[in-house]
Amino acid sequence: DYLSHLLDRNYSLATVRAYGYDLLAFCRWLSEVDVEVESVTTNGLLDYLRACREATIPGRAGPEVITMTGQRLDRYAATTINRRLAAIAGLYTFAGLRDPEASNPVPRGREARWVTAGEKSGMLAHTRRRRQPRSALRLRESKKLPVALSAPDAAKLVASLRTWRDRAIAGLMLWCGLRSSEVLTLAVKDVDIGGRWVTVTGKGAKQRRVPLDADVASVIDVYLLAERPASDSDRLFLVAKGANRGQGLTAAGLRTIFRYHRGLTGIAGGHPHALRHTFGTTLAEAGVDLAVMQALLGHAHVDTTARYVHLAPAHVKGEFDAARARIRAQTR
């Protein structure tokens, strides 16, 4: 019932699926410790979170392999544990809607006070969001910048793609900034090849119009005319062969395609979302206005887009070298 409630609230299928597996892991732990869902206390929830932190992931490298930040690769990341906590908190909140007397073991923390500099005052003050209180049980997450591909690596990865469909998908992410989920849900009618526009349905069913790169439009045109199989489906990108020929391409199928070409080219970072990050980084290095970048990338808030500005190494290095040159000139 809770997962159906999330679908009614327009949560994405991927989020609902992830929450389902998170709650499954929680229920399995409750079964191991012989505790009913209705009887969970805050102390019990702390025990579960401790078990999540100490659990090892099957199939991962052993405890002797760690990241550059010192985190073991066989343990769950803080983001995964926080997502599990969010799923559990949502479940008990949903139970409280049905029964006001139901206990909620998830303590509510104080409201997050962090805002961007422009939200405190000035021109962006009207964009300030009303932040929901976050549980005091949340783990501290590391702030990671988006990882983009270099121009040679991006070109090599795209060149390895042999079908018009795969090239069109890569082009929409690399030169139009679409998410992989947005690419997979595109319908044929969403692409205006003549006018060079794409109507994209993003997170939360929010629509936006993105300019279509001329080269990508040509690739899509050839795909529709010469390669797309006959089908009753209105999806743009379909499975080309096999038992599922004519059905919409799935996220697992897309991951399989890129996994194969990562091995073929040797580009370890050649994941689908890395192409979108490359698009955002290219815009930032070109000095594109932040509001325009936000509209193109479909971010709900400008502070998400601002990560790409911090990631623009060419622009930052250029400004740094120019400043150093001015300082040297003044000290002579």
Is a pLDDT exceeding 90 seen at residue 176? yes
Could you report the per-residue pLDDT of 108-136, keeping only the tens digit for each?
A: 766 555 455 445 544 555 455 555 566 77
Every domain of the chain with CATH number 1.10.150.130 lies at 1-107
Could you report the per-residue pLDDT of 265-312, keeping only the tens digit for each?
A: 999 999 999 999 999 988 988 888 888 999 999 998 888 888 887 666
Every domain of the chain with CATH number 1.10.443.10 lies at 151-314
Is a pLDDT exceeding 80 seen at residue 260? yes
pLDDT score for 305: 87
Chain CA centroid to CA 89, Å: 22
pLDDT score for 1: 94
Query: Mean per-residue pLDDT for 163-176?
Result: 96
The answer to whether the CB of 40 falls within 8 A of the CB of 62 is no
Cβ-Cβ contacts under 8 Å for 6 (sequence gap 6 or more): 15, 16, 19, 90
pLDDT score for 137: 81
pLDDT score for 325: 84
Is 151-314 a CATH 1.10.357.10 domain? no
Beta-strand pair 191-192/207-211: unpaired
Could you report the per-residue pLDDT of 27-62, keeping only the tens digit for each?
A: 999 999 999 999 999 999 999 999 998 888 777 666
Is a pLDDT exceeding 70 seen at residue 314? no
- Average pLDDT of the chain to the nearest whole number: 86
- Tell me the whole-structure pTM to 2 decimals: 0.75
Could you report the per-residue pLDDT of 53-97, keeping only the tens digit for each?
A: 888 877 766 666 666 556 667 788 888 999 999 999 999 999 999
Q: Is 61 helix (H, G, I), strand (E, B) or coil?
A: coil
Architecture of domain 1-107: Orthogonal Bundle (1.10)
Could you report the per-residue pLDDT of 132-160, keeping only the tens digit for each?
A: 566 778 878 777 777 889 999 999 999 99
Whose structure tokens read 């702030």?
143
pLDDT score for 200: 95
Query: Mean per-residue pLDDT for 212-235?
Result: 95
Percent of the chain with pLDDT over 90: 58
Percent of the chain with pLDDT over 70: 85
Write out the catalytic residue numbers: 179, 203, 273, 276, 299, 308
Nearest to 197 by CA among 205, 206, 35, 207: 207
